[in-house]
Chain A
Amino acid sequence: MKNQAHSSPVKEFWEQFLQNRLAVLGLVIVIGLVIVAIFAPFFAPQDPTLQSLPDKRTKPGGKFILGADEFGRDILSRLIYGTRVALLVGILSVAIALVLGMVLGTVSGFFGGVVDNLIMRSLDILLAFPYLLLAIAVVSAIGPGVLNTTIAVGIWATPGFARIIRASVITIKKADYVLAAKALGASSTRIILSHVTPNFISPVIVYSTLYMANAILVEAALSFLGLGVQPPTPSWGLMVSSGRDFLLSAPHIATLPGIAIMTTVLGFNLLGDGLRDSLDPRLRNV
């Protein structure tokens, strides 16, 4: 009883979260990556774009801890700076999708009727494009580069966010406290901002984390195809692609960046699964 008096929702959440070993591992990976990205110049032994042709395709060990690529650039430094690109594109594209999805989903769910139908049918059309295809279509039109890749990935992720937020809004708007606010004469804007929005935060946090994993995969895929981030910017997907021609003689060029992508995606997936289990027990095992 005494313990219960002190327990807050945040504390309860932490206790549950820390019991989940895989989730903690995910959190550790994600925090580690953020630190690497922020302090990239501090960790990287070399300038990631510095070429040294005599050292091209050097095997790992010695002067280059993880070897050198086809231009003699230090792979470790490129992987470290690549963290920045992956996280930047991931975070910004999820932010774009979140803002667009929040506006569309809230309006759609709150007002219902014709508006709802119009918005949701339009988003259905975007969802009719198979995975990756929408992002490819957008980026092939507006051109490659970090910014355009971010926009393409953001547009690709928007329908998913809009749907999940709409679903939460529809449940929340029938709650007694929203009806009470309405009866008291609060405006729609006020109800949405101060009563509805705070209540779909947890599914949105879970969804954002899981989408980060996917956004990073999509960025890597676009860059691998040569449609995303362009050289000499160090992007992991691009690095895998440039190592393709030397698979037999220097397999480390293509394989190492793939391990970086996998670890990052794994980290966000583990964290997302863990957050879902502790924030919203109803969603468990989905």
Chain B
Amino acid sequence: MLKFIFKRLLLAIPTILGVIFIVMLTIELVPGDPVELMLGEHATKEAVHNVRTALGLDKPLLTRYFLYLKNLARGDMGRSIRENRAVAKEISDVWPATLELTFAAMVIATLIGVTVGIISAVRPNSFFDNMNRILSLFGLSMPVFWTGLVLIVIFSYWLRYLPIGGTGSLRHLILPAFTLSLPSIAMISRMTRSSLLEVLKEDYVRTARAKGLSEKTVILRHALKNALIPIVTLSGLQMGQLMGGAILTETVFAWPGLGRLMVRAIFARDYILLQGAVLIFALAFVMINLIVDISYSFLDPRVSYQ
């Protein structure tokens, strides 16, 4: 088991190095001079020169890459152009808000998705199952940013139940978290249904039923446990969806998180801040996938022998 975990950790290193390289590469794609764009039209030649040297943009890409890695290892992600604050500090200020939002959405999506999926699988092609199928299709087809606006109109303007945006209380969290979780609820309920339906055909389920166990025990203890691997894989992938969706949800609900910081950085052409934000999102996703991989070996002991 430890060997497996160690191997997975080692395999993540090249991915992380590659992610950092791609993030560095984006600034190379900027047409024209990124420094001139960052400082605006009125910047003096001297200022442009100073910033370029300070950012190391006069050095070749590879040199810059290793320099960035070296600084990153010390927790230094450079300074933002606009506010001249440490990027690491700016990100750590807003990161908890994004974490709170995505985590809440994940919990909602898993609870509702798995429950609905189980009920659908137990009674396939029933009215409930068909409704679930149709609602899932809508859940997957509605753009998150639009769903958010519609929910604001209904729950904040018409019913006046919930705040329009911002943070502070649990009530502030409800609308953005639910909005963000909708597509994931749809995905997870579909996956739970099909995975559980597969498992219910297995011999050991028949045996469990034959020895007189209650249907509840058969489903929850015998079948669900074996249906869990695809569900966990999907939930891990859904975290990526949720983080991307968080960028939109945060914009709609004025949620002060990393997504909004990133969009602000793009409009301010603050490439240093942007690089930091993209990097943290990507690294978080790599870590989540790693945790999912490792969790397989707990869910299914056969995995570690492969």
- A residues whose Cβ falls under 8 Å from a Cβ of B: 22, 121-122, 124-126, 128-133, 136-138, 140-143, 213, 217, 220-221, 224-227, 237, 240-241, 243-244, 247-248, 251, 254-255, 257-258, 261-263, 265-266, 269-270, 285-286
Contact = CB atoms under 8 A, between A and B. Distances in A.
B137 interface: yes
B143 A130 contact: no
B244 to A, nearest CB: 3
Contacts of B26: 137-138, 140-141
Given A220-B143, A266-B137, A130 B19 contact: no
Contacts of A262: 138, 141-143, 146
A133 B146 contact: no
Contacts of A129: 19, 22, 240, 278, 281-282, 285
Among A122, A220, A225, A285, find the residue whose CB has the most chain B CB atoms closer than 10 A. A225
Interface in B258-305: 262-263, 266-267, 274, 278, 281-282, 284-286, 289
Contacts of B252: 244
Contact of A285 (B147, B197, B245, B282): B197
Contacts of B138: 262, 266
A138 B29 contact: yes
Contacts of B241: 130-131
Contacts of B146: 240, 254-255, 257-258, 261-262
Contacts of B281: 129-130, 133
Which secondary structure dominates where chain A touches chain B?
helix
Contacts of B27: 141
A264 to B, nearest CB: 8
B247 A225 contact: yes
Nearest to B22: A125
A244 B149 contact: yes
B152 interface: yes
27 contacts: A22-B137, A121-B15, A125-B21, A128-B19, A132-B245, A132-B247, A133-B244, A133-B247, A133-B282, A137-B274, A141-B26, A141-B28, A142-B29, A217-B143, A220-B143, A220-B145, A225-B247, A226-B267, A227-B266, A247-B152, A247-B153, A248-B153, A257-B146, A258-B143, A261-B142, A285-B194, A285-B197
A270 B252 CA distance: 28
Interface in B234-264: 239-245, 247-248, 251-252, 262-263
> What does DSSP make chain B's interface, helix, strand, loop or mixed?
helix
A125 B145 contact: no
B72 interface: no
B31 interface: yes
A68 to B, nearest CB: 19
Given A263-B141, A266-B138, 4 more contacts: A129-B281, A130-B242, A131-B245, A254-B146
A162 to B, nearest CB: 16
Contacts of B267: 226
Contacts of A251: 153
A125 B279 CA distance: 12
Nearest to A122: B18
A120 to B, nearest CB: 12
B9 interface: no
Contacts of A261: 142-143, 146
Contacts of B286: 128
B174 interface: no
B250 to A, nearest CB: 11
Contact of B149 (A217, A226, A255): A255
Contact of A141 (B14, B30, B141, B144): B30
A28 to B, nearest CB: 15
B244 A132 contact: yes
B12 to A, nearest CB: 9
A237 B146 CA distance: 9
A126 B278 CA distance: 12
A285 B243 CA distance: 27
Contacts of B242: 130
Contact of A225 (B157, B251, B282): B251
B150 A258 contact: yes
Contacts of B247: 132-133, 136, 225
B140 interface: yes
Interface string B29-41: 1110000000000
Contacts of B150: 255, 258
Contacts of B86: none
Contact of B240 (A130, A142, A224, A244): A130
